[in-house]
Amino acid sequence: MLRTTLAGLRMHKARLVTTALAIALGVMFVSGTLVFGDTLQAGFSTKMMGSAGDFAAVAVPAEDEDAPADPEAPAPVLPADTLEEVRDLPEVASAGGMTRGDAPLLDKDGRAVGSMPTIGMGLGDGTRFQPDEGGMPEGSGEAALATTVAEATGYGVGDTVTVLDSEGDRHEFTVSGLVDFGVDGELAYRGVVAFDEDTAREMTGAEGYSEIDVTAAEGVTDAAAVSAVEGVTGSDADVETGTAFGERLAKNSGADSQMLTVALMLFALISVFVAAIVIYNTFAILVAQRQREMALLRCVGSARGQVFRSVLTEALVVGLIASALGIAAGLGAGWAGFAFGGEALGADTSQSLVVGVLPIAVGMTVGTVMALGAALLPAWRATRVPPLAALRTSATAQGLEKGIGWARIVIGGVLFLVSGGIVFAATNSTGIGTTGLVLTTVAGLICFVGVVVLSPLLVRAVVAAVSPVMRRVGVASMLAADNSRRSPKRAATAMIALTVGATLITGYAVVNASLKTTMDEMLSEQFPADYMISAPLDEPDAVIPDSAVAELEDSDALGSVVEVHQAYAGSGGATGDMPVSTYIGATLGEDLKNDAVSGSLADVGPGKVAVSQGYAGDLKAGDTLPVATGSGEKEYEIAAVLEEGGTLYGATLSPRDFEQAFPDADGASSVMVTGADGASAKQVRDAVYDAVADAPTVGVDSMAEMKAQFDDVLNIAFLAIAAMLGLAIIIAVFGIANTMALSVLERTRESAMLRALGLARGQLRRMLSIEAVVLCLIGAGVGIVLGIVFGWAAGVSAMPSMVFALPAGQISVFIGVAVAAGLLASVLPGRKAAGQSITGALASE
């Protein structure tokens, strides 16, 4: 029986090529993801350990984890004399200290880089950081920049940069080099300007050290060096070996790589699922087509178990070979992913490819189990073939057409109802957070099972609906419609894989488009102006200079200038430290809008206040809100309770009431600016930047630029995810091509008869192409509908305030891809069918 099975594999190897490709692609994604994740993790470790591991001990200020968080509290440091005491230790050969403080770097437009001041870092002798380009700063006229800062600003080695000191005075430095400061979140976000130690103290005003790096004396172990340093620092510092310090940094940074690996594995599982559908389809059709062969084996003495094992052996051999090929391709994919994406993620790209046992074991297991699991039901069906079937004159795949009736309708209907109930619960429940996404996912899976159950009926119904039109197009189109209606289950199994891919891509496109629309509306509501000018974030009481505000108001290029004055006060009606604001130059309810839970924003005036829902508590419009002002507690009538997340936050008073309540809150904490009618975007921008030219630390945010940056991030994410989901589409195309090829083999005599009756080769190819396109359009159509529904449900469950948006352009592209996929899938089967000999095919049976 084994020889018979292997002989059958050799005979039918062409039929199993696309099955092997589907397995190989799924395994490639799985093993490639694991190799990529392991190599990325090793790249992080190499990058961090390559510097920290050179030191015997690293000391950093101890942090009290039980102390309440205070963002305004200065970062802890080690006293300056601690470094000298460490250097005097006999166990220490050398020690270097690192100082840190604020040193705002100005970009080429003279504005401070980022919303937070750049970190000024003093690097002494023996630092664990090394330049990627150029050299470390030497003397008071040089500075080194973080590579992330250089990329953001366009500065390079040899350029002159301007940095503000702790008093706000400007100093110019020559860029001596570019330093990669690793994957530390704060350093990456704020950026770094590095000086020598003395210059860093002069620029930042920092005292003490944020880190001390120690090299052990000859013959002294790292543990002994750590113990000696701990004796000097006591409980003021956390001291560990350089190796342990580097491993901890690598582990923290590696958390991102682990999350990325998990996300990629989810897409890999999708590809595996689609591949499993293709494998099942292949074996189901092969077994159905080989009914006479299976029955003949039974007639000559083969037992049911032998037939069952024969089919599973075929699946096992195909799975093993395809899995091995998939692992080889996965190694290449993992290497390519790390080579092109490792640097962007902050890993050391000189790291060699890491190939462990796990990717190979998982890849072989996934591919083999997937093949065996998908072949189980077809193998069982093979044992049900009665021996007398060998005496029949036809070997059509009739087994695929059984079971299309009321049972399917009932089961499918129940599954749809259950799915709909879960979606209703997920989208109409509040406070369930991520549980809503889980429920939506479960509902999607249940609904998809329902689609699988009802897909033959769906194919039959859709084809019946379009058959009148197809019959008028031509003979090839009419025959394609008849073929699809005659074998709806075979057609349904071919389209299911494409339905999965179309559902996922459409769903993400809906979420992406809706998120864009929602964020655009939120930005427009929160920043109802062309530009938002803000005082420095790191200075709680900072205000925008009056001269800058005056220049903005005098500019002809600007239409409206709204000053925002803000103070903080306790509130007896809700939580303490409530922000209280007033808007000078704007009419509430007209220029500034915010949805109200009760009352009206337009009613705010003398003696009346608008308060956001979080601070209002159980109060409503008409109630009294007590506010602790600078001159004692005052009570205001609530004109409106506002929804959270809008333009206005905390309490909003009229300008006169605010001035009386907080006379010391003089100056605007922010200014909203709108361009004048007829003014160009450049004129508005120039007017804004000219007004704040003498205040480089003042933040300037452009509404248009913010929207563009946000859209760019979403577009990049969408393209990346669409590319990964595209693999599922590719596998689905293979599945459709496989089904078409097997269908051509099954209908060899039928095709020959059509040719004998006068059907031209071109008409036969068009018939198969139309049939494939119809299947792809049905699969894509069902997937698009499901994607829209569950994309909306996922978005609403995660963000109840989401504004639904339908990406019609992208959906149109998906439909075009479906047509192209159908045409592509039909090329080879069509050529094979058209190239067969008429007389040979008629005589073959």
134: left (phi over 0), alpha (psi -120 to 50) or beta: left
Using alpha carbons, select from 50, 610, 777, 128 the residue that is nearest to residue 350.
Answer: 50
Same domain, 331 and 277: yes
The answer to whether residue 446 sits within a structural domain is no
Q: Which residues, including other chains, have CB under 8 Å from residue 574's CB and lie 6 or more apart?
A: 611, 614, 615, 616, 617, 619
Q: Pick the residue with more confidence: 681 or 747?
A: 681
The total domain count for the chain is 4
Same domain, 190 and 234: yes
Averaged over 703-714, what is the pLDDT?
Answer: 70
State pTM to two decimals. Answer: 0.65
What integer pLDDT is reported at residue 262 of this predicted model? 66
Same domain, 4 and 18: yes
Same domain, 505 and 542: no
pLDDT tens by residue, 560-583 = 899 999 888 864 443 447 889 999
Using alpha carbons, select from 273, 258, 269 the residue that is nearest to residue 36.
Answer: 258
Same domain, 507 and 626: no
The answer to whether residue 435 sits within a structural domain is no
Can you name the residues that pair with 627 across neighbouring β-strands? 571, 634
Averaged over 672-686, what is the pLDDT?
Answer: 88
Structural tokens at position 11:
């005979």
The answer to whether residue 414 sits within a structural domain is no
Task: Mark which of 697, 732, 748 sits at the end of a domain.
Answer: 697
Percent of the chain with pLDDT over 70: 76
What distance lies between CA 311 and its chain's CA centroid? 41
The answer to whether residue 668 sits within a structural domain is yes
Distance CA 618, CA 278 (A): 58
Averaged over 812-820, what is the pLDDT?
Answer: 82
Strand (E) or helix (H) holding 680 = none
Angle, alpha carbons 353-358-359 (nearest 5°):
55
What integer pLDDT is reported at residue 572 of this predicted model? 43
As a dihedral over the C-alpha atoms of residue 22, residue 27, residue 28, residue 31, rounded to 10 degrees, the angle is: 170
The answer to whether residue 255 sits within a structural domain is no
The answer to whether residue 429 sits within a structural domain is no
pLDDT tens by residue, 57-106 = 999 888 765 544 444 556 788 888 888 899 999 999 988 888 888 899 99
The type of residue at 89 is L
Same domain, 693 and 745: no
Distance CA 594, CA 163 (A): 40
Residue 510 has pLDDT above 80, yes or no: yes
Task: Mark which of 648, 676, 697 sits at the end of a domain.
Answer: 697
What integer pLDDT is reported at residue 568 of this predicted model? 84
- Quick count: other Cβ atoms within 10 Å of Cβ 182? 22
Q: In Å, what is the CA distance from 734 to each residue of 41, 282, 783?
A: 34, 11, 18
Structural tokens at position 531:
């530009």
DSSP code at position 717: H
Using alpha carbons, select from 404, 412, 416 the residue that is nearest to residue 490.
Answer: 404
Using alpha carbons, select from 601, 506, 552 the residue that is nearest to residue 810.
Answer: 506
What integer pLDDT is reported at residue 529 of this predicted model? 81
Residue 593 has pLDDT above 80, yes or no: yes
What integer pLDDT is reported at residue 68 of this predicted model? 46
pLDDT band at 476 (very low <50, low <70, confident <90, very high): confident
Averaged over 445-474, what is the pLDDT?
Answer: 83
DSSP code at position 111: P
Averaged over 791-812, what is the pLDDT?
Answer: 83
Same domain, 741 and 651: no
The answer to whether residue 86 sits within a structural domain is yes
Task: Mark which of 647, 672, 697 sits at the end of a domain.
Answer: 697
Reduced to 3 states (helix: H, G, I; strand: E, B; else coil), residue 93 is strand
What integer pLDDT is reported at residue 725 of this predicted model? 64
Q: Pick the residue with more confidence: 379 or 53?
A: 379
The answer to whether residue 545 sits within a structural domain is yes
pLDDT band at 261 (very low <50, low <70, confident <90, very high): low
The type of residue at 659 is E
Same domain, 315 and 304: yes
Same domain, 690 and 721: no
Same domain, 794 and 841: yes
What integer pLDDT is reported at residue 158 of this predicted model? 92
Q: Which residues, including other chains, have CB under 8 Å from residue 369's CB and lie 6 or more apart?
A: 319
Expressed as residue numbers, the domain containing 270 is 1-53+260-395
Residue 124 has pLDDT above 80, yes or no: no
